[in-house]
Structures are given as C-alpha cells and as structure tokens.
Amino acid sequence: MIQQRLLALLSGSFLRFLLVGVFNTLVGLSASFVFFNVLHLNYWLSTFAGNTLGAIVSYTLNRTFTFRSNASVGSSWWKFAIIILSCYGLSYSCGLLLAEAAGVLWPELRADWLHNGAILVGNGLYTIGNYLGHKYFTFRANGPTSRGVS
C-alpha cells in the first residue's frame, strides 16, 4: 500500500515538480550564490534576485509541464506571485534564523559559511512550500476543463 502511494507520487506531478526544480535550482540557486559570493551583494538582495530569475523559469515550466494547468496567465500569475513571495519570506527568514543560531552555538564559523548554509536551508524550505502552494492554490484542478493534477 505504501509502495503504491510512493509510486503514484513519483509518477505524478511531484516528480515533474522535482525535475523542474532541478532546472529551476540551476538558475535560481546558482544566481543567488553568484550574487552573494561573486558580486558581494547582501544576503537578502542575492536571494531575492536569484529567486526572481528562478521564478520566471518556474512559473512557465510549472504551469505548462508540472501541473498541466489550463488556468489563464491572468488568473494564475498573481496566485503564483503570492506563493513565491510568501515562501521566499518564510523560508529564507527561517534559514537565516537557523544560521544565526548556529553562529551563536559555534562562534568560530565564518559568517559567509553561515550565510551560504542559510541559502541552502532556505532553498529547501522554499521548494517544499512552493510545491504545496502551487499544487493546491495556484494550479489546482478546477473542474472538467482542466487536464487535472496527478
């Protein structure tokens, strides 16, 4: 029974979401690290700019490939933006709080290592929140005209 549920999850929208996420991560997370480590922008500007680039890729691929949504761009883009911004604020704030707590526990850790760790943790939380938000809010199936979400 558990194996069947796991197989259904991996063959449906979650697997497609993960595939899109790999590509999206190459864009957004890589950009965040470049903005932070190469351009030396601050944590918030780096993660926001990287996630903005990733969000453009994410919206397009998740709407058409992951959730196969028939929702119009006009009715879905604002929902997408709400989920993206909410997940961004919550996820990266949690990542930064955890990094600050780690800095108190291990004061010998360098600040840039803590911030890079915060970016990674924030990105993981952001991914989970985005999947749930887009599946159940942005691109949810709304009756017979939608192709459905598996």
How far is the first Cα of the chain from the last one, in angstroms, to the nearest whole number?
Answer: 18
> pLDDT digit string (tens) for 23-79?
988 999 899 999 999 999 999 999 999 989 998 898 989 888 888 888 888 888 999
> pLDDT digit string (tens) for 119-149?
999 988 988 898 899 889 988 876 444 444 4
Task: Please work out, in degrees rounded to the nearest 5, the angle formed at the alpha carbon of residue 140 by the alpha carbons of 129 and 1.
Answer: 75
Longest dimension (CA), the chain: 58
In angstroms, rounded to a whole number, what is the distance separating the alpha carbons of residues 50 and 67? 23
Q: Are 51 and 34 in contact (CB under 8 A)?
A: no
**Which residue is listed with tokens 């749930």?**
132
